[in-house]
């Protein structure tokens, strides 16, 4: 006597998975880019605050990259100086503004590309085959 049976087959069809994957990746890339920018501006604030040597290659690179993004905030508020140390309050304001812009861009991407989950379709099939001995 042999008993052959197949296991149940379950198929799940989720139409919007590619759109949700794209949405997830887009928001992650956006937040990563803004986080890197804010981190560089934070390093600039710290380097200015401790009076880092502006002729150092790393300091020059950080100042050069961040100056492009801090251009709209130049002269917004007066920076405080004490010897070689500088407290760039306009850069601190820029960090807050860029964080708000990042949140806004993330929400816009979510609104434009959001696709609700489609209902999951379950298909199950079970077959059994029994062979009985011939009498």
Give tens-digit pLDDT for 66-104. 999 999 998 888 888 888 788 899 999 999 999 999 999
2 within a domain of the structure (yes/no): no
Residues belonging to the chain: 135
Location of structure tokens 């150092």:
56
Coil, strand or helix: which one is 52?
coil
Please report the pLDDT score of residue 84 as a whole number: 79
Count of structural domains, the chain:
1
The torsion defined by the Cα of 93, 94, 99 and 100, in degrees rounded to 10, comes to: 70
pTM of the model: 0.70
76 within a domain of the structure (yes/no): yes
Number of Cα atoms under 13 Å in the Cβ half of residue 11:
7
Structural domain range at position 38: 17-113
Averaged pLDDT for residues 17-21 = 77
128 within a domain of the structure (yes/no): no
129 within a domain of the structure (yes/no): no
34 within a domain of the structure (yes/no): yes
């Amino acid at each position: 006597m042999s008993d052959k049976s197949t296991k149940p087959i379950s198929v799940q069809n989720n139409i919007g998975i590619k759109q949700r994957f794209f949405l997830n990746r887009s928001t992650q890339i956006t937040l990563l880019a803004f986080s890197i920018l804010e981190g560089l501006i934070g390093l600039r604030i710290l380097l200015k605050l401790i009076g880092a040597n502006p002729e150092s290659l790393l300091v020059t690179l950080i100042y050069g990259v961040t100056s492009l993004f801090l251009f709209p905030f130049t002269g917004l508020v007066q920076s405080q100086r004490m010897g070689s140390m500088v407290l760039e309050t306009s850069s601190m304001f820029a960090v807050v503004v860029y964080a708000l812009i990042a949140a806004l861009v993330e929400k816009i991407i979510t609104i434009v590309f959001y696709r609700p989950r489609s209902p999951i379709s379950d298909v199950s099939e079970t077959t059994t085959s029994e062979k009985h001995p011939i009498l």
